[in-house]
Amino acid sequence: MPLIEWNDSLKLGVAVVDRQHQRLIEIINRLYDATMEGRGADVIGEIMDELIVYTATHFSMEEKYFAQFHYADAEEHKQEHDALIEKVTAFVDAFEQAPAASRAALAKELLQFLQIWWRYHMMDTDSKFVALFKQKGLT
Ligand SMILES: [Fe+2]
């Protein structure tokens, strides 16, 4: 079982956003599998780094459209993005510096946080820009 199951209920109806959300969920699920399988810190750390890089790429894409479409809630939305990057980066730093015995617990804590954060962010925060994006021609 994946940690987060990608299905139609998570789709917002804007293809570029949905595609990137799906890829983010895939990375999170890979991190979950590696953690549950007890993989080494090198493998888990690599997936964490990939997650941070891809999350930043995804947020930049959304924010580019916020600017282009003059999205009214851009500032508030960007604050959520920045806070997430900051929090995940702090988690990954802590993971890398933690003694081996406590790393799995840290990874699980991060995953639990990501599971809740992403569901809320996609279903609530992101859903607010959908009408505007569609109106501007993104399908
Ligand atoms: Fe977003």
Q: How far is the CA of 89 from the centre of ligand 1 (A)?
A: 17
Residues 68-110 pLDDT 10s = 999 999 999 999 999 999 999 999 999 999 999 999 999 999 9
Residues 3-20 pLDDT 10s = 999 999 999 999 999 999
Q: How far is the CA of 40 from the centre of ligand 1 (A)?
A: 31
Residue 55, both tokens:
């999350």
What dotted CATH number matches 14-134?
A: 1.20.120.50
Within a 10 A sphere around the Cβ of 18, how many other Cβ atoms? Answer: 17
Q: How far is the CA of 35 from the centre of ligand 1 (A)?
A: 26
Output the CA–CA distances (angstroms, integers) from residue 2 to 5, 6, 9, 14, 28, in the order listed: 6, 9, 16, 24, 9
Map tokens 């804590």 to a residue: 109
Residues 39-55 pLDDT 10s = 999 999 999 999 999 99
